[in-house]
Structure 1
Amino acid sequence: MNPTVARLTVRGLLGRRRGVLLLVVPALLLLLAVLVRVANGKDQDIAVQVLGTLALGTLVPLLGLIAGTGAISSEIDDGSIVYLLAKPQPRWKIIVTKLVVAVGCTTAFAALPTFLAGLILYGTTDGLAIGYGLGALVAGAAYSAVFLLLGVATRHAVVVGLMYSLIWESLVGNFVHGARTLSVQQWGLSLAKAVAEPGVITADVSLSVAVPLLLLVTLAATAFASVRLAGLTLAGEE
């Protein structure tokens, strides 16, 4: 961890329009949870639908995209990354620091609101809230790593990330059964299912598959982002 890099990354994420989105999106989820609870009372099916589809299926990847790409892509676009790379420090440390900040953002603005929405909708019964909260936490970490890699690899990281979320996670992942094994959303659901009471949450990927894939994707994306950042440094020096 580099405190200076972390401070600059936090300032970049929270001090621009991204900061507004990071606050508004989870606020809308919590508002919807309140309205649904008032209108329908304590209903397990509705709670699962809201938390699984809206929170874990939409909120988490969206905020992971905002935090992951925003942690570094803006610095690459405006050229300020040159000043950061000029410092004598390992490139992997820069990436890891930015990833920690991005994961912190998804935890604060995606996982925690998901947990709170679960409490509003269904209380502490059946472990529903904590299950979806933990599922959002691990899925948010994986999304942050993947989208951080995109932020280093392409100037169109947001567009590519949206296409991935909308086409693969939402469309292909929901309608093509075999593709769900490679869905971050399904990995999060697998953990949520393991934490909640049996039969409350369903997932198409077993926990023994989901956990290794979550770790593999997160670590691989971090490693490739570090290599890519080092490549950018060499290109700049040439």
Structure 2
Amino acid sequence: MSTRSDNAIVIIGSGPGIGTNTAAVFAANKFNKVALVARNPVQLDKDAESVKAAVDGNITVKTYSTDVIDPAQFTGTLKQISQDLGTVEVILYNAAIVSQSRHLQVTDDELIRDFKISTIALNNVSKWAMPQFVVLAEKDASAQPTLIVTSSHLPEAPETDIVSLSVSKAAQKNFTRSLRMEFEPKGVHVALLTVAGYVFDHNQFLNAKYIAMQAWELYAQPKGGWTEDVRIEEPWSVGRGE
């Protein structure tokens, strides 16, 4: 785990669930700079207050209202984050839209939209993040540059009522694995945080706070012991592909 005291994390796909809880966990563990990225500025303000309330001490939380589907807008946001917070050590890519789509009814626009969110936007993140991650790994032995991508059960167990998201999540998982193959030898930890089911507060494991702690555990893994994928599921769903 990094011993650095000046650390920045970026949450892409903020919200009151996994995104905000992950930001709070990292902020409580020496990450004094937090960037929250999502479309809804009103919700972002609420997310920022939630993160600040969960942490004692000095912390900078900045919010960025942007649409990851718009490459020019999104890449401009990423550049602004660099100007505001400097070098980033951790990124959680958590952007997704969960909406119903079924075979024979799903439209081209829905499929393209979800692919833009899951993979094209992630590609833009990688172009921005990986060069600075590689430099950080080379210059600071205590740093652990990490990209965590929230995945799901859908690549292995697609659902017929969310066809578009199922397809796009499969593409995203493949893209993330290829990033790992390319950049792990250069000192960058690329990992999948597989949320294998639906997240509710009453769940034993599939709840936002537990998932956030698993994101921290991924980051905290020692070099040489990095894992590619942490799968989170409820005991009853094991073996059922849910």
| TM-score, reference length from structure 2 | 0.35
Q: Which has the higher strand share?
A: 2
Q: Which has the higher helix share?
A: 1
Greater relative CO (CA pairs within 8 A, separation 6+): 1
Q: Please say which structure displays the higher CA radius of gyration.
A: 1
